[in-house]
Amino acid sequence: MSGAGVVTLTGANSYTGATTVTSGTLTCPARVRSSGTSGLSVSAGGTFNYVSTAASTVTLPTLTLAQNSAVGVLYGDTVASTGSGDGRNGGEN
């Protein structure tokens, strides 16, 4: 995903490829669950938001955060990685 706008996922999700947010914001509501087979990479200037109305967790096999990237969570949500990840240069939202 690239561009300055906001993309919000809705409906059933069967996508299994790796996802890269190069700019703008990708929002994933809790009702849209990852199949657990996709990695997530957020480039500088990109944001990944995971939102729900009750505490829940989205688990990704890999999570890579570039410097000046952001991951946002609400309501006690958790973004977790089961594999390798590099958040040393990333940010928090």
Q: Taking every pair of C-alpha atoms in the chain, what is the biggest distance, in angstroms? A: 33
Q: pTM score, two decimals?
A: 0.71
Element (H, E) at 24: strand 24-29
Amino acid (1-letter code) at residue 76: G
How big, in percent rounded to 5, are the helix, strand and coil portions of the chain? 0, 40, 60
What confidence score (pLDDT) does residue 35 get?
52
* pLDDT 10s digits, 63-78: 888 988 888 877 677 7
* pLDDT 10s digits, 12-66: 767 777 888 999 998 887 666 555 557 888 999 999 888 877 777 777 788 888 9
Question: Do residues 65 and 43 make contact, with C-beta atoms less than 8 angstroms apart?
Answer: no
Q: Which two tokens stand for residue 71?
A: 């991951």
DSSP 85: E
